[in-house]
Amino acid sequence: MRIVEAARELSDLSYAVKQGGQKVALVPTMGALHEGHRSLIHMAQQHGEFVIVSIFVNRLQFNNEEDFETYPVTLEDDIAICRSSGVSALYMPSSKSMYPESFATSVEVSGLTARFEGASRPGHFSGVTTVVTKLLTASAPDIAIFGQKDFQQFAVLRKLVDDLDIPTEMMMAPTIREEDGLALSSRNVRLSAESRQLAVLISQGLFHSLSLFQSGIRDRQELIEAARQTCIGEIEIDYIAIVDPQTLESVSEAHVGDVLLFAGTIDGIRLIDNIIFCA
Ligand code: AMP
């Protein structure tokens, strides 16, 4: 596995690989790798011969300094996971090389970023779209893989790639969960034992709503209320919404393919999750 720190070196590598007829697949991450990231790597390997994983804790997308300072960093383990997973190249740029003091550019997607995570975390999405634009430019991948776990992020990035004519196919990988249903997240390690027990209510609420949908209920309020009731009193709910997967506009009646979005806080730790309604 090749470890690359400079954007220029990554561009040269990707160009050479593609000249040789191989497809390049990119998996962007902020490290602290877990089974969710591994599943993205696995999906990347099914669609491209040369898989690049990037690890960069992107300060620009943290709207909260403490969240950035305490974000878990497990570099040695991450490198070992990438090696054992058969990753072709690991891109680990330094903060200085990503954002030198002279850096003055910001990439913004309007509309889709206005609500939900965008409203609760001002500046978050411009940090995401700026860094992902840089990652896509440097690695010029044929395919880029992102997790359903961050559904709004995927919708925003798909729009970015579409609007800027970036020739990368965007793919979404399903959310990987703990046995009890909690979506894996690098931030889960911050949960106390008690908060960890409460955190399971989030996925329980979402799956309760899904089971109502599957029994024929379509009314938005009823489906949202099912998820809310499961969490009420235990989790500080930021939002629960049912949205169209492309526009992220709220729907009055849920259909197959619509998404139930959830964000809430337990003991100061913000968690997000979602499910896609299916038959
Ligand atoms: P992060 O390192 O948290 O920025 O996440 C990097 C990528 O992994 C993003 O595309 C996330 O959506 C994805 N991801 C995070 N958690 C999960 C999960 N539990 N299952 C699948 N993908 C995930």
pLDDT digits (tens, 9 = 90+) for 18-51: 999 999 999 999 999 999 999 999 999 999 999 9
| Residue limits of CATH 3.30.1300.10 in the chain | 186-272
- pLDDT reported for residue 205: 98
- pLDDT reported for residue 37: 98
- Domain covering 186-272, topology: Pantoate--beta-alanine Ligase; Chain: A,domain 2 (3.30.1300)
Model confidence at 96, pLDDT cuts 50, 70, 90, reads very high
What ranges make up the beta strands (E) of the chain? 2-4, 24-29, 50-55, 89-91, 143-147, 169-173, 236-243, 259-266, 269-276
pLDDT digits (tens, 9 = 90+) for 212-250: 999 999 999 999 999 999 998 899 999 999 999 999 999
Residue 147 exposure: Cα atoms within 13 Å on the Cβ side: 24
Q: What is the DSSP string of 165-201?
A: T---EEEEEPPPB-TTSPBP-GGGGGS-HHHHHHHHH
Ligand 1 centroid from CA 9, angstroms: 26
**Residue partners of 222: CB distance under 8 A and separation at least 6:** 212
- pLDDT reported for residue 244: 98
Q: What's the sign of the alpha-carbon dihedral 78, 83, 86, 91? A: positive
pLDDT digits (tens, 9 = 90+) for 70-94: 999 999 999 999 999 999 999 999 9
124: annotated active-site residue: no
Model confidence at 198, pLDDT cuts 50, 70, 90, reads very high
Model confidence at 196, pLDDT cuts 50, 70, 90, reads very high
Cα–Cα nearest to 30, from 62, 64, 3: 62
- The closest-lying atom of ligand 1 relative to the alpha carbon of residue 175 is 20
Strand partners, 26: 52, 144
Model confidence at 9, pLDDT cuts 50, 70, 90, reads very high
**Residue partners of 201: CB distance under 8 A and separation at least 6:** 230, 231, 234, 235
Rounded to the nearest integer, the mean pLDDT of the chain is 97
Q: What are phi and psi of 22, to 5 degrees?
A: -95, 150
Model confidence at 133, pLDDT cuts 50, 70, 90, reads very high
Hey, which of 30, 37, 67 would you mutate to test ligand 1's pocket, going by the most ligand atoms within 8 Å of its Cβ?
Answer: 37
pLDDT digits (tens, 9 = 90+) for 46-61: 999 999 999 999 999 9
- The closest-lying atom of ligand 1 relative to the alpha carbon of residue 145 is 10
- Give the mean model confidence (pLDDT) for residues 101-126: 98
What ranges make up the beta strands (E) of 56-94? 89-91
| Other residues' Cβ atoms within 10 Å of the Cβ of residue 49 | 14
What are 12's two structure tokens? 């040269």
Name the architecture of domain 2-173.
3-Layer(aba) Sandwich (3.40)
What are 110's two structure tokens? 């309007």
Q: Which residue in the list 34, 37, 42, 124 is annotated as catalytic?
A: 37
- pLDDT reported for residue 14: 98
- pLDDT reported for residue 21: 98
Cα–Cα nearest to 52, from 116, 134, 141, 126: 141
In this structure, which residue's CA is closest to atom 18 in ligand 1?
A: 36
Contact (CB, 8 A) for 56 and 98:
yes
Dist. CA 161–CA 194, nearest whole Å: 41
Strands 143-147 and 24-29: parallel
- pLDDT reported for residue 166: 98
| Residue limits of CATH 3.40.50.620 in the chain | 2-173
